[in-house]
A and B are shown apart, each in its own frame.
Chain A
């Protein structure tokens, strides 16, 4: 190879049509998305006025260290553990009963909310879907706060709140599952002139039932976490004890309660996973 004797070349290293495309191209939609995303993130941090000092300074870290130290040792006295056990049972019952009610209500709402066959006029589809969206848009905590007014303090408000919110979620999932089911069996029954309720019971439901139960069990995992915190607004269970003791700064009792919460969540996750595996064997 000849040694480089000439001065630097005056042309671009790549010919113009071989240059890579510019990083930001006004015609490219993805570029605008990314730019908008960047603006959103920066604006969020800027306008919130987050108090970094309160978190990152040496002072803050030391006080946090002290705060965390107060959690140990957790309070394991028999009387308190009994109370925690009863509250855990209450929370578990709230989540289980709420999910079960939601499954029934969700199925009842999913039938009008789905178009079961191409000839199905499905008049109620849009209003029922709107209802399901409204039910699921409102978080469980807000439902609980609203229901406390009629049902009073205690776990019943929490159960109903879980049932209402989850029926919106499950109703929509159930409706989508029912619309995606293979249509062969239902079409054959309809060709014989069988009415829609019986077509549903003999053809659609047997095909879709394992998936529905799987959704309901998966939702139970979420509901146990939700049930644990509903008590914060007064709906009973572990949450109520937690907010009570945290308000009085009983940090070791709080530690026990948090441990109980983690244990419940792990148990229900395991139970739900095992049940779903057993059903699809």
Chain B
């Protein structure tokens, strides 16, 4: 309680010296070593040790970028960006392809909704009738677990892989892209919808179900109104992501801006690449703005 009293033995003094301060003698229990230092050094060392094999596995040799041939190729490519291609025909074609990209994303997300809504209703635990009286029965729990597993698998496979597969089934064109987006985003939307429905209060839903209403009725009358804003907001956000995805899918033949970019890069036509990139960045920025505005309006 009282400040440290100096021991009787004459001990070396430490501590700050201020004008007029009495030098306090060092109490034998004063710690001088930082106990966390060893573990910090260990973790730092571990991180550094792990970096080496990672660098080897990825053939990470940054200096390769500065090799004379690579530098020349890069410089030539960057120089070919200017002047940007801006003739009317090309820009008209880009406008058409931009619309196709947006259309692909919209159609994909619409089909994804058709997939996600039923699956999320099946997967959410809030609409379980057996859980109203304590624990959920085994059968319904297993069903929900299976549906969740399906959703997780759907969302784990990148849409590019789906697109690669579908291109071989339905041929080149936007159909493959729309189906790929529909499956992947169906999984994503379904999983997040199920989580959103489970978050928050389920009192209203449960009262309706306890009083004998059907599950779908309880959903429409109780769950949906309370979560509609969040669900809609997330869907709008996903639509914006889908626009980015559909550009990526263009690289495997699904059409749209991505295909134009792929063609331009294969021909090393820097001017076209630059224009398409700029149009793409503008499109993403616009979609970002629209999505943020819609989400604010929904909140």
Contact = CB atoms under 8 A, between A and B. Distances in A.
A and B touch in the complex (CB under 8 A): yes
Interface of A: 29, 33, 40-41, 43-45, 47-51, 54-55, 60, 63-64, 67, 89-90, 92-94, 96-97, 100, 133-134, 137-139, 141-142, 145-146, 149-152, 154-156, 158-159, 225-226, 228-229, 232-233, 236, 242-243, 246, 258, 261-262, 265-266
Contacts, number: 157
Given A48-B178, A51-B175, 14 more contacts: A47-B103, A48-B103, A50-B107, A93-B53, A93-B57, A93-B58, A137-B280, A137-B285, A142-B261, A150-B73, A229-B161, A232-B251, A236-B58, A242-B161
Contacts of A150: 65, 70, 73-74, 77
Contact of B169 (A43, A45, A67, A133): A67
Contacts of A67: 168-169
B262 A145 contact: yes
Interface string B155-195: 01110110011001111011100110000000000000000
Nearest to B61: A156
Contacts of B265: 145-146, 149
Contacts of A60: 169-170
Given A40-B106, A51-B173, A149 B100 contact: no
A88 to B, nearest CB: 10
Contacts of B77: 149-150
B64 interface: yes
A44 B252 CA distance: 21
Contacts of B73: 149-150
B107 A45 contact: yes
A138 B158 contact: no
B70 A44 contact: no
Closest 8 pairs between A and B when the two form their complex, measured CB to CB: A93-B57, A44-B103, A44-B106, A150-B74, A229-B160, A54-B170, A155-B58, A137-B284
A158 B77 CA distance: 19
A159 B160 contact: no
Given A145-B251, A150-B74, A265-B156, A50 B57 contact: no
A139 B174 contact: no
Nearest to A265: B156
A158 B248 CA distance: 15
Interface of B, helix, strand, loop or mixed by DSSP: helix
B247 A54 contact: no
Interface residues of B, number: 59
B102 interface: yes
A60 B73 CA distance: 46
Nearest to B76: A149
Interface in B94-140: 99-100, 102-104, 106-107, 110
A55 B179 contact: yes
Contacts of B65: 150-151
B281 A134 contact: yes
Query: Which residue, of A29, A55, A63, A262, has the highest number of chain B Cβ atoms within 10 A?
Result: A55
B10 interface: no
Given A47-B99, A229-B158, A93 B54 contact: yes
Interface of A, helix, strand, loop or mixed by DSSP: helix
Query: Which residue, of A142, A154, A262, A266, has the highest number of chain B Cβ atoms within 10 A?
Result: A142
25 contacts: A40-B106, A41-B107, A43-B103, A44-B104, A50-B178, A51-B175, A55-B179, A60-B170, A93-B57, A137-B284, A138-B281, A142-B247, A142-B248, A142-B280, A145-B251, A149-B73, A150-B70, A151-B70, A156-B58, A159-B60, A236-B59, A242-B164, A261-B156, A261-B157, A265-B156
B116 to A, nearest CB: 15
Contacts of B262: 145
B247 A47 contact: no
A257 B164 CA distance: 13
Contacts of B143: none
Query: Which residue, of B60, B77, B252, B277, has the highest number of chain A Cβ atoms within 10 A?
Result: B60
Nearest to A89: B57
A97 B55 contact: yes
B216 interface: no
B144 to A, nearest CB: 19
Nearest to A94: B58
B244 interface: yes
A44 B107 contact: yes
Query: Which residue, of A47, A94, A141, A266, has the highest number of chain B Cβ atoms within 10 A?
Result: A141
Given A151-B70, A156-B61, A63 B169 contact: yes
Given A229-B161, A242-B164, A246-B164, A152 B58 contact: no
Contact of B64 (A133, A152, A226): A152
B16 to A, nearest CB: 16
A129 to B, nearest CB: 12
A266 B100 contact: no
B168 A246 contact: yes
A55 B261 contact: no
Contacts of A90: 57-58
Given A139-B248, A141-B251, A242-B161, A44 B102 contact: yes
